[in-house]
Amino acid sequence: MNIVAPSPVRLDLGERSYDIHVGTGLLARAGSLIRPLLKMPTLFVAADETVAELHWPALAASLDEAGIAHHLYRVPSGEGSKSFARLESLLSAVLDTRPERSTALLAFGGGVVGDLTGFAASILLRGVPFIQIPTTLLSQVDSSVGGKTGINMAQGKNLVGSFHQPRLVLADIDLLSTLPRRELASGYAEVVKYGLIDDPDFFAWLEKHGPALLDGDAEARAYAVRHSCQAKARTVAGDERESGTRALLNLGHTFGHALEAETGFSSTLLHGEAVGLGSLMAFDLSARLGLCPATDLDRLRAHLESVGMPTRLPAIAGGWQAERTMAHFFHDKKVDQGRLTFILARGIGKSFISRDVPQDVLRAVVTDWCAS
Ligand code: GLY
């Protein structure tokens, strides 16, 4: 069954506007969709090594059919690849092929490959075009759209990077079927986020269809990915550089990054799992501040449980320590003149940006979560 959306989602950014295709069978059409965007029929593909193992033959065949010559660079799987060393290695591999300003890079993988390749494209020859073929749920609904690129530093995640919009995004739902269930559920946290921010109907839809989506229902997946991309495209079109409302997309992320930092960005807690827990903590904080009904916190917890996402912090060696966890908040990119930015909620679908969260209530939330 081919589920191809009637038309691509358009991210409207003037001359930097681009299409986001969501559907099945897109890998086979990749060559013909990409070809009109290329000045020279050559692509440099940076692919996650696991994705390349599974899906490179299909993508290569599609590029061959469209007459696009290609070079392949395999990126080791995992967050460790968002490093200066990997960036240098990738740039050096591209430069060995004697690229020109119109040579395009293609990111074929999840968020790590997308962020790394997008950053490389933004600085190679002072900027070359790039295309995203995201292969994880998280990258299809969030990181491949919107032009945030970057790598990690010892001091924290994504601290070095750029805004560099892709020319095209192809979100092929078929690619999700080879993802481990835990990885899929982790990415699902970013889908739920769109409901929590400003779309209570979508949250209700997810309550009904989320379990089937995770169990493999292709139509539910296509609907949710497309709906999420529409929400992301709207938000980015309105605030590309995150001077305002784009920050809403960080719901659950300030808490989440702190949890990830405490678990050493390891498989103890995947990024999406941290975002799911962070969203719960944001709703808990909102409820304690009297902003949000506690029943909405319960509803969110019940939904995350229904799809098998963690709703408690995982056990870690030495146990969770509130003060240490809170210290990570101040390394966040979103710190503004020393003030922390949190996304709070007046209910499901009613999120807002807050820069004056009372520290004592924040501390109480973190302390309770660390103790539970
Ligand atoms: N992932 C959040 C953003 O793109 O702004």
Regarding whether 283 and 342 lie in a shared domain, the answer is yes
Mean pLDDT computed over 1-21: 84
Closest by Cα among 167, 205, 171 to 16:
167
Closest by Cα among 255, 238, 275 to 326:
255
φ/ψ of residue 146, rounded to 5: 115, -10
Q: Measured from the CB, is residue 148 less than 6 Å from ligand 1? A: yes
Regarding whether 215 and 162 lie in a shared domain, the answer is no
> Contact, 194 vs 297, CB < 8 A?
no
pLDDT of residue 333: 64
Regarding whether 201 and 165 lie in a shared domain, the answer is no
Mean pLDDT computed over 83-110: 97
Regarding whether 96 and 68 lie in a shared domain, the answer is yes
Cα gap 151→86, rounded to integer Å: 9
CATH code of 210's domain = 1.20.1090.10
Query: Which atom of ligand 1 is least distant from the CA of 242?
Result: 5
Regarding whether 288 and 357 lie in a shared domain, the answer is yes
Give the tokens for residue 272: 């999406």
How far, in Å, from the CA of 96 to the mean position of ligand 1?
Answer: 32
CATH code of 136's domain = 3.40.50.1970
Q: What is the mean pLDDT of the chain?
A: 94
Which pTM does this prediction carry?
A: 0.95
Mean pLDDT computed over 182-191: 96
Say if residue 1's pLDDT is above 60: no
- 330 band by pLDDT with thresholds 50, 70 and 90: confident
Regarding whether 209 and 157 lie in a shared domain, the answer is no
* pLDDT, tens digit, 9 for 90 and up, residues 203-219: 999 999 999 999 999 99
Q: Measured from the CB, is residue 246 less than 6 Å from ligand 1? A: yes
> Which residues constitute the domain of residue 50?
9-178
Regarding whether 22 and 101 lie in a shared domain, the answer is yes
pLDDT of residue 266: 84
How far, in Å, from the CA of 251 to the mean position of ligand 1?
Answer: 10
Say if residue 118's pLDDT is above 90: yes
Regarding whether 224 and 147 lie in a shared domain, the answer is no
> Contact, 342 vs 354, CB < 8 A?
yes
Say if residue 332's pLDDT is above 70: no
* pLDDT, tens digit, 9 for 90 and up, residues 247-267: 999 999 999 999 998 998 888
pLDDT of residue 6: 61
Q: Which residues are catalytic?
A: 126, 148, 190, 232, 242, 246, 250, 253, 257, 271
